[in-house]
Amino acid sequence: MRVVIAGSRRLPKGQAPRLLLHLLASLTPDEGEELNTVALRSGLKRMGQFESDVRNLCEVLHLDWGYWKPEPDDDHPGRASVFIRDIEMVDAADLVILFFTPEDAEDGYSGTFHLLDKCLDTGKPVHAYTVDSMGKVARFGDYDPGHEYDHLALDVGGV
């Protein structure tokens, strides 16, 4: 299974480990099971802090991970290459898990929100959350019509 995990660059620093430790631990395959892959976004030069934190957790848990970097070309220069990367990531994913600030969710537009739009456009299962400046997590919404990935939803009641 390939899981895309992405977070807004405006998220409070240091929240990825607290939010994702249980989720990532549940992706560690039992002996004989297929290896799960965590896909992370990268900019042209580096990953954002959230994605770097997720990568570090994956390494500690011995999870397979990889990053998707935009590849500008003559047909898709600059920001257009980022949108192409997002579309390709969503297409390749089995599940997408997203984290926004409440402001991102209210505005309805950010780079991370673009991933949500692509999931909904293509019918890809997605779980989305907001994280406020104090680190409080709230479920923003999800689309998982077959309930195939309900077991990976974060329990935000106690967070």
How far apart CA 75 and CA 81 sit, in angstroms, is: 9
pLDDT digits (tens, 9 = 90+) for 15-53: 777 778 888 888 877 666 677 899 999 887 788 888 999
pLDDT digits (tens, 9 = 90+) for 60-93: 988 999 999 988 888 888 888 888 999 999 999 9
pLDDT digits (tens, 9 = 90+) for 94-118: 999 999 999 988 887 788 888 999 9
Q: Which domains does the chain have, with CATH numbers?
A: 2-150 (3.40.50.11700)
pTM listed for this prediction? 0.90
Contacts 24+ apart (CB under 8 A), 54-59: 54/5, 54/7, 54/16, 54/20, 54/24, 56/17, 57/16, 57/17, 57/20, 57/21, 57/24, 58/24
